[in-house]
Amino acid sequence: MSDLPYRAAVGVMLLNAENKVFVGQRLDNALDAWQMPQGGLDPGESAEEGALRELEEETGIARHLVEIVACASRQLDYDLPEDLQGKLWGGRYRGQRQTWYLCRFLGTDSDVHIDTPEPEFRAWKWAEPGELPAMIVPFKQALYRAVLAEFGEYLAP
């Protein structure tokens, strides 16, 4: 196992009115893999600030259209496969240690704009929570199961 540190990061499980979860298909991955908005924290940034910033940067959804419902009880992490550890983030990290937030989307689908100044997604959709682990790259499946366990009480239809 790598002795590199984890990158401080955040993730957002965004629910619509039907309790479906926002997922985007990454531009930089040829796989048919979908993921929830997530990313690294900026220096001095709180996890909550970072989560709302990442969500807006990746989805175009303005902060006033999002209500934070819950924060995971613990940080969740994942390790990159060894062949990616030297390629991503300048080879400085073994993976990410993330603070996850469950948020309610207060807007409409027309408020989603993935054609951001620095786009990360080529497509997006609303997915059933239980489908999430099968939609993500294999090395993040355990992470997504942990996120579902953290927020399970809020996900009933």
Q: What is the pLDDT of residues 78-100, one digit of tens each?
A: 999 887 777 778 788 999 999 99
136 contacts: CB under 8 Å, gap ≥ 6: 33, 34, 35, 143, 144
Instruction: Count other C-beta atoms under 10 Å from residue 106's C-beta.
Output: 14
- What's the whole-model pTM score? 0.94
Query: Phi and psi for 40 in degrees, rounded to 5?
Result: -80, 155
CA angle 9, 12, 16 (to 5 degrees): 175
Q: Please state, in angstroms and rounded to a whole number, the distance separating the CA atoms of residues 136 and 150.
A: 17
What percent of the chain has pLDDT above 90?
82
pLDDT at 2: 67
8 A C-beta contact, residue 12 and residue 100: yes
Q: What is the pLDDT of residues 95-135, one digit of tens each?
A: 999 999 999 999 999 999 999 999 999 999 999 999 999 99
